[in-house]
């Protein structure tokens, strides 16, 4: 069933688990992610970044919505890392049921202003909104300005931001990177900071990144206050690495049904691990 991000994350917040937001960039990836979510009976946010939106196009998003309506688990279609109000309007028109406005690189007051503007418009349409405060490190081109520095979320700012914007969920910076964690740094989540923020804002909190962070830390973060975790790098690496292996140097390997099933299986092995790690397996029964 197609639903909103808020409907999914409020239940996760109440019951203490995290919902995976898997970034997909083609139909085969989407189909596989829905199937493993149904197999594990886990709620799902299908995350699509603006670059991925430009790749798959508006028509495929309509097909994603149709498949979500027929799913045995709750699904929201989430616009990931929207940068402008105009992008949010496009997301509404395309049929997204959840959006993220990421103005975290702007001064605090500007972040508040644009996030509130998005919330005001989205809530009229019944669309959920995620904001972001603090900046997550970046080892790829899909994050906030490609910054290699983590600016940790300030709890006082988080309280003010949530009160003034009315966002339904908040992405916070507690020690993760987009892409793979830099080799010269030790991955470490500030779980005490997470606990303080959660105790003060209480809405669903979101973790972006997480590749190379220890499983034990991610599991604990989901248990104590993170209710949505974005996964992109890990599933895409598994998917495309298997594709490279299958294609090899044989020009005769060309049919999708000879190539993609094993790629989906490799991706879903990673996805199933994440679903279990986040505590989301079986939780579709709560909806």
Q: Which residues are annotated as a binding site?
A: 81, 102, 132, 178-179, 208-211, 230-233
For 237, residues 6+ apart whose C-beta sits below 8 A from its C-beta are: none
Chain position carrying tokens 């292996």: 245
State the catalytic residue, choosing from 80, 120, 140, 156: 80
For 21, residues 6+ apart whose C-beta sits below 8 A from its C-beta are: 45, 46, 47, 78, 80, 206, 228, 229, 230, 231
From the list 231, 227, 221, 275, the residue with the least C-alpha distance to 21 is: 231
For 5, residues 6+ apart whose C-beta sits below 8 A from its C-beta are: 45, 76, 78, 97, 98, 128, 130, 168, 169, 228
Q: Please report, in range form, the residues annotated as the binding site for dihydroxyacetone phosphate.
A: 179, 209-211, 230-233
Bridge partners (DSSP) of residue 230 are: 21
215 in catalytic set? no
How many of the other CB atoms lie within 10 Å of CB of 154?
A: 17
What SS3 string covers 74-141?
Answer: CEEEEEEEECCHHHHHHHHHHCCCEEEECCCCCCHHHHHHHHHHHHHHHHHCCCEEEEEECECEECCC
Please check whether residue 102 is in contact with residue 115, taking contact to mean a CB–CB distance below 8 angstroms.
no
Q: Please report, in range form, the residues annotated as the binding site for Zn(2+).
A: 81, 102, 132, 178, 208
Element spanning 52, H or E: helix 50-69
Please check whether residue 97 is in contact with residue 77, taking contact to mean a CB–CB distance below 8 angstroms.
yes
Spatial distance between the Cα atoms of 287 and 278, rounded to a whole number of angstroms: 17
List phi, psi (to 5°) of 13. -65, -40
Q: Which residues are catalytic?
A: 80
């Amino acid at each position: 069933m197609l639903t909103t991000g808020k409907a999914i994350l409020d239940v996760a917040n109440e019951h203490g688990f995290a919902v995976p937001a898997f970034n997909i960039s083609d139909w085969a990836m989407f189909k596989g992610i829905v199937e493993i979510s149904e197999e594990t009976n886990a709620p799902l946010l299908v995350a699509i970044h603006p670059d991925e939106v430009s790749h798959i196009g508006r028509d495929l998003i309509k097909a994603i919505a149709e498949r979500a309506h027929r799913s045995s688990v709750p699904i929201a279609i989430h616009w990931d890392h929207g940068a402008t109000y105009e992008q949010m309007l496009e997301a509404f028109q395309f049929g997204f049921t959840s959006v993220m406005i990421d103005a975290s690189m702007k001064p605090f007051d500007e972040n508040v202003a644009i996030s509130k503007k998005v919330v005001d418009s989205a809530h009229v349409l019944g669309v959920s909104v995620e904001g972001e405060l603090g900046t997550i490190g970046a080892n790829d081109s899909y994050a906030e300005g490609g910054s290699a520095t983590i600016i940790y979320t300030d709890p006082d700012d988080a309280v003010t931001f949530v009160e003034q914007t009315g966002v339904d969920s908040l992405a916070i910076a507690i020690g993760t990177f987009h892409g793979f964690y830099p080799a010269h740094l030790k991955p470490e989540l500030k779980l005490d900071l997470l606990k303080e923020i959660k105790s003060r804002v209480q809405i669903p909190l979101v973790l972006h990144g997480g590749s190379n962070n220890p499983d034990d830390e991610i599991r604990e973060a989901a248990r104590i206050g993170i209710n949505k975790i974005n996964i992109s790098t890990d599933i895409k690496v598994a998917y495309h690495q298997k594709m490279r292996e299958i294609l090899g140097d044989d020009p005769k390997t060309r049919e999708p049904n000879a190539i993609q099933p094993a790629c989906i299986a490799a991706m879903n092995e990673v996805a199933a691990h994440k679903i279990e790690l986040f505590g989301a397996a079986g939780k579709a029964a709560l909806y």
